[in-house]
Amino acid sequence: MAATSPADDFQQTPTRLYSLDALRGFDMFWIMGAEEIFSKLAETTHLPIFEGIANQLTHPAWNGFHLYDLIFPLFLFMAGVSTPFSVGRDLEKGKSRNQLLLRVIKRGIILVLLGIVYNNGLNIKPIAEIRFASVLGRIGLAYMFANIIFLYASERMQIFFFWFFIIGYWLLLKFTAAPGFHPGDLTMEGNFASYMDRCFLPGRLYLGIHDPEGLFSTIPAISTGLLGILTGTMLKKTGLSQTKKVLRMVVIGVIFLVLAQIWNLDFPINKNLWTSSFVLNVGGLSLLLMALFYYIIDVLGHQKWAFFFKVIGINSILIYISGKFINWEYATGGFFNWLFQLVGNPYNVVVGAVCYVMLKWLFLYFMYKKKVFLRV
């Protein structure tokens, strides 16, 4: 019998992708403190390579794109990828769509509430002082609507809705504006999305006149979730070789990046507004990263190196919200102060940033070994 390459095998329906957990962990790794490591390296060494990386790990003030802008939409994309393996699996087991609809709505509401707690703590405040919009809230709402479409629409209709939301959002912002501004104004004060949030979103906005996780700009974020769902559906198919799955993700990812740059000429790439060109840009990068992790981990079978990221990815929401309840900086100083003194200036701040990340990882590893996972 002739041997076959792993990449050419037709897999049975997978129940969970190791690469998905690893990529989710890689994504969270940067916001659990890795960006601070490169920031401190840039400050202490002044080497162009570290300064360049540190700059990419910041957000542009308005238009433009840095790699740090990918973290949030990549997480939402991966939430979509997991849908066919979770909600889709339950459908196959015979659960009704109405049962799963209630679960999806419940999860969305819980994430919105967790986001409010993350922003404002547990203290009771006047409504005017509460920030309702949040990263978790946007993930919750976009995940919820994308999953509702998954439950009740065919794959072809899911593709239709992906383009419907981003084209419709583009047309809305192109031909409307806040009162007193010309149609198509995309400044922070003049754009239609921020104006709608000022009119209808209760409480305070993050920047007073604008919130980067506002309600109206969640519309195109649904497309980010849908792209993940479509990707997960493709990865779950058994009649398609693993090589072809990787190639599809790469080809579509590159096409999306090209289209994003073309659209950018008329509708700038802007994370603050989650513009349609931004959706295609981060969608293309998400597909390329998913293809890379899937090929190395699930196709070639190289898993050991990714265990570090899997430990983070399998408890991603826990580590995200832990900073509201655990003083990680204080704990890091308590455990590693002797090491900082031993290293001395100026590199003690770099060592401190590394220890900060490692302490969080050890906490997650302990939870992993105890099989304690925060599920929403």
| pLDDT single digits (tens) 223-267 | 999 999 999 999 999 888 999 999 999 999 999 999 999 999 999
| pLDDT at res. 332 | 86
**Structure tokens, 113:** 């509430």
The pTM assigned to this predicted structure is 0.92
Mean pLDDT, rounded, of the chain? 92
| pLDDT single digits (tens) 292-331 | 999 999 999 999 999 999 999 999 999 999 888 888 888 8
Contacts of 98 (CB under 8 A, 6+ apart): none
Helix, strand counts (H, E) of the chain = 15, 0
Task: For residue 374, give the nearest of 304, 325, 305, 303 by alpha carbon.
Answer: 325
HSE-CB for 360 with a 13 A CA cutoff: 31
| CA 321 vs CA 104, 209, 225: distances in Å | 21, 26, 21
Question: 182: helix, coil or strand?
Answer: coil
Indicate the length of the chain as a whole number: 376
| pLDDT single digits (tens) 356-374 | 999 999 999 999 999 988 8
| Neighbour count for residue 215 (Cβ, 10 Å) | 18
| pLDDT at res. 84 | 95
Contact yes or no for 201/132 (Cβ under 8 A): yes
Where does the pLDDT of residue 343 fall: very low under 50, low under 70, confident under 90, or very high at 90 and above? confident
Task: For residue 9, give the nearest of 169, 240, 198 by alpha carbon.
Answer: 240
